[in-house]
Amino acid sequence: MDLLPTEEQQQIIDTAANFLTHEFPVKNLIKLTDNKTQFTRAHLQHLASMGWIGIGLPEDYYGVGCGLAEEALLFVELGRNLMPPSVLASVLAAHVAAQSGTTEYLRRILEGEVKIALASARPALPLHIGASIDGEFLLYEAEDADLVLVADQGGAALLLLSSLECMQTEKCIDSTLHLSRRFATATPALCFVPVEKENIFLRGALLISAMLLGIAEATLERSVNYAREREQFGKPIGSFQAIKHYCAEMAIRCESVRAMLYHASITLQAQSSAGPFDTFSLKALAIDAAQSNANTAVQIHGGMGYTQEMDIHLFVKRAQVLGTLFGSERFHLKKLLAERAPD
């Protein structure tokens, strides 16, 4: 038993952290206020060149041959650097293409040649995801996408963006993301993977949780640094218990979600009966950690935290967006309570 990352896994973390802070620094996002896609096809190909889209896919499917744990570690770093949820759409799309034998798309997805938008169903219309798709969807990063990934508890599908109706661009709470709304009416899927074959929805929930952990950790780190430097009443504000205790609570939320993420990565990968139980727990805790930490970070940064001159607000907004993807807190808690407790 060893819950910590192995040396190889630690290397993935370090490489990703290093690459992302140099190639995609968060400060570049501060200027973006227009809801345009910041993450271009060239950016996607740059990421894909690292082998990251297929990191969790077996080599038989042109992947790197690692597992869910490695994917999860990568997504913590992607979340920390506010990479868009469409990266997750690409990774999951590769799983869908591989499982459904859609090899002509698989290679192009892995190389970042095909761009995938992430769909999140609105409850306004009845949802059906199968060989054909019905429903109303919010699409993240559809601006220059080719395909759309949709997933629910029954399965996951890829469809052509052009096959969806009535595009309406929306103003997104997170101004660094492109958001639109579209409808599907008996729209044929390019490929569909039922949950019995692979649970793409739970994989998505776990990886979104990893991104949420990245946000929780990034906002803790920024808060601690600020609390050490910012002085009032002649001392660093971090010496006041009011601030110190906020930071301690933020640190515990990070520790709790990181431990849960490691545990769930192992049990879900092993298809153990504890996998869903752990993932439902994880997603609920990760949403709370990211949102509570980001919100607390604004308070710790004081008036400056409320401005767009600092990057804290970006984390607040992204935590809200990610919280809605692959099941809300309420959804996961309901599922969790209905599960049998693992041995």
Q: Is 265 a binder of other proteins (CB under 8 A)?
A: yes
Binds other proteins by CB under 8 A, chosen from 133, 266, 312, 321: 266
Residues in 197-236 at the binding interface with other proteins, rule: CB under 8 A: 224, 227-228, 235-236
The verdict on 6 binding other proteins (CB under 8 A) reads yes
C-alpha 224/C-alpha 219 separation (Å) is 9
* 127 forms part of the interface with other proteins (CB under 8 A): no
Amino acid making up residue 287: I
Amino acid identity of residue 323, one-letter, is G
Query: C-beta of 111: minimal distance to other proteins in Å?
Result: 28
- Residue from 12, 26, 69, 300 touching other proteins (CB under 8 A): that is 69
CA angle 330, 332, 336 (to 5 degrees): 115
Whole-angstrom CA distances from 207 to 113, 117, 261, 309, 341 are 22, 16, 9, 29, 23
Query: What is residue 242's three-state secondary structure?
Result: helix
- Per DSSP, helices labelled H in 24-118 are 41-48, 68-80, 86-99, 103-110
Does the footprint of other proteins cover residue 244 (CB under 8 A)? yes
Among 280, 305, 312, 318, binds other proteins (CB under 8 A): 280
CA distance 200 to 182: 22
Among 31, 122, 197, 330, binds other proteins (CB under 8 A): 330
Contact between 326 and other proteins per CB under 8 A: no
Report if residue 260 touches other proteins, rule: CB under 8 A.
yes
Q: Give the Cα separation of 113 and 70 in Å (integer).
A: 23
The residues that touch other proteins, with contacts defined as CB under 8 A, are: 1-6, 9, 69, 224, 227-228, 235-236, 238-239, 241, 243-245, 247-249, 251-252, 255-260, 262-263, 265-267, 277-278, 280-282, 284-285, 330, 333-334, 336-337, 341
